[in-house]
Each structure stands twice: as C-alpha cells, then as structure tokens.
Structure 1
Amino acid sequence: MVERLPCPDGLRLVLTPNRSLSWHGNVRIWIGLFVVSALITTGFSLAGAWVIIPFAGLELIALACGIYITSRACQRQEVLVISDENIRLEKGIRRKQSEWTLPRRYVRLSVHSPRHPFTPARLFLSHRDTQVSLGGFLNLEDTEELLDILEHRGLLIERKEPDADIGLWF
C-alpha cells in the first residue's frame, strides 16, 4: 500500500505490504482452529486413539509459528522522503532499522521489468555503487502507483528489460 503523508520538506510516502488481517484477527482464526482441533482430538482420544494428541499439538504449534512469521513480515514498512536536495529511505519492522540518504540530483530509479506480466517490476534507488531496493513487497497496482508518483516528481527513471531466456522455463 502506498500512502502519502504531509511533509514540510517535500513528499513523504509510506510503503507497507497489504494486510488481510490484523494481529487480533489472526489470533482469533488460530483460536477457532484450536477449538475445532481440540474437539476432534477429544473425540478420537475417547475412542481410544490417544496417540493423536501430540500430533494435534505439533500441528497447532506449527500453525501458530507460521501465523506469527507471516504477521511479522507484514509489519515491515518503508518511508521515502523526497525533498529538493535529498532522497531519504528508511526501512524497518515497527521501527527504523536502516536508513539511506542520497542526493536527489544524482539518484536514478532503476526499474527491472518482470518476465511474467502478473509480476510487479522491481524498483531500486541507484547512486554510484549504492543500489537500494524499494517496495519489494508491493503488489502490481501499488508498484505502478509508486512508479507514477516518482515519475511525476521528476526522478530519472532507468528501465531494464529482462534477459532473454533460452529454454523451457521462464
């Protein structure tokens, strides 16, 4: 998701992945599955198949780990601030973990076109030997919106087509 925020210096964009559910929604789903699994496990254990209990527990633990990892990955965000002099990119999960400040005059936006039409282009901010990925988690529509915003702000855009593959796989 691309969100514009007011900024006295210029333009501030907050880039976040699309989130289908909040953390509380994910916990509710897990609790619902826990209740269903507990009912099924109780039924089988009362029928004499008590061996199912540890496997049901392992399944619920694995599901909880998967939900946690996915939910944490959806909490990352990037903040892009474009001023007259500099471009600042901050990345992190719930807090700033890394930051790049690049001079706007010499920054290029490298757009690596995808091989498949349903895949979003990969965007990179490039300055000399520094190349920083931008919005790698965005979907196709959000990537196009970000590209349109940056193009209207006057960033130099460098498009790269994918290499031709010879073979059966894309």
Structure 2
Amino acid sequence: MDARFTPEGDTGEGLRVIVRPNRTLTLRGMTALFAVLTVVVLTIGIGFTLAGAWPVLPFVGLEAVVVGAVLYRLFRHADDHEQIMVDRERVTVIRWRGRREQRDEFQRYWTKVVLERHRGWYPSQLKVGSHGRFVVIAADVNEKERESLSAALNDFFQKKG
C-alpha cells in the first residue's frame, strides 16, 4: 500500500492514498513459469504416452490450457489498484479493475469510514461512503494493511473535519 499526503488548494490539506496489492510476478516471470510448467507436464505426458497410457495426453493439454488461462487473468489484473482522494469538499474513490475504471464521489462532510469485522476466517471489509451508499476499498490487501488504512483515514477525517 502506498500512501502519500499532498497539499490541496490554498486553504487546507488533502489526502491522496493509492492502494495497490503486492504483485511480485512480472510478465517475464509469468511467461517463464508457463513455459517451465508446460515443458514439465508435456514431458511427463509424453513419457506416459510412450509407456502405453496415451489417454493421459488430452489431460496434459487441458492442464496447460488452464494454467495459461489463470496466468493470463493474473496478467490482465496486474495493474489493479484503488485511489482515494480527499479534498476540501469531496472524497473520490477510483478503482481500476482490469481495463475498467469505476469512480465514486461523496461529500466530505458526510463521508464515513467503516471497518466491518467478520468472525472466523472471513476477512474484514473496509467501506467508505455516505447516505447508505458505501463502496468497499482495500479488498486486495492483507488484514493488517486494511486496518492501517482504516486508522489513517479515520484520523485524517477527525483532524481535518
């Protein structure tokens, strides 16, 4: 998670937070992973085919296709992130998912930050909004970072109210 405070206008301070999940696998890494897994699986499949178990080969192809599809999906969502901008009058939440951008705006005075905790293994949800309309933010980060962002946003709203 990347948080930066930036001045907004002449009369006050604003806040700009970029929430970006940890993505360590680059395009080159995804390509190498796919190539290595495909070579290993094809080698095993060809070995079984030479041993007389030819029905294994279609499943090897299916496995390569599934792994390729999963890596393609990861690649398409590698740049997913959220940006929360607070100025004197508005709170703007911009979420990028795949190639789509979704923008929500709220009046700053009425905006609330709510961290809903769930029981058991289910993760909490951090929501920002007002007047019964809330958007979930920081869903792709771990619990500790979500709590940290919640505390930072609540502190900012209480100080700058």
With the shorter chain as reference, the TM-score category is 0.7 to 0.9
Contact 2:114 2:150 in 1 (8 A): no
SS of the residue 1:153 aligns to: helix
Aligned residue number for residue 17 of structure 1? 21
- 1:1-170 correspondence to structure 2 within 5 Å: 2-5=1-4, 7-9=6-8, 10-93=14-97, 97-116=101-120, 119-155=122-158
Structure (1/2) with the larger helix percentage: 2
Contact 2:113 2:154 in 1 (8 A): no
Contact 1:80 1:87 in 2 (8 A): yes
Aligned residue number for residue 168 of structure 1? none
Structure 1 unaligned regions, length at least 5: 157-170
- The CA deviation at 1:97 is 1.4
Structure 2 unaligned regions, length at least 5: 9-13
Write the deviation string for residues 30-83 of structure 1: whole angstroms up to 9, x where unpaired: 111111112112222223333322211011101111222344345321100111
Aligned residue number for residue 162 of structure 1? none
Structure 1 residues 121 and 51 mapped into 2: Cα distance closer, same or farther (>3 Å)?
A: closer
How many residues are treated as equivalent by the alignment? 154
- Identity in percent: 25
SS of the residue 1:109 aligns to: strand
Give the whole-Å Cα distance in 1 for the aligned partners of 2:145 and 2:119: 18
Give the whole-Å Cα distance in 2 for the aligned partners of 1:95 and 1:42: 39
RMSD of aligned residue pairs (Cα, Å): 2.3
Contact 1:109 1:125 in 2 (8 A): yes
Give the whole-Å Cα distance in 1 for the aligned partners of 2:47 and 2:79: 38
**Amino acid paired to 1:133:** V
- The CA deviation at 1:155 is 4.9
TM-score (norm 1): 0.78
SS of the residue 1:58 aligns to: helix
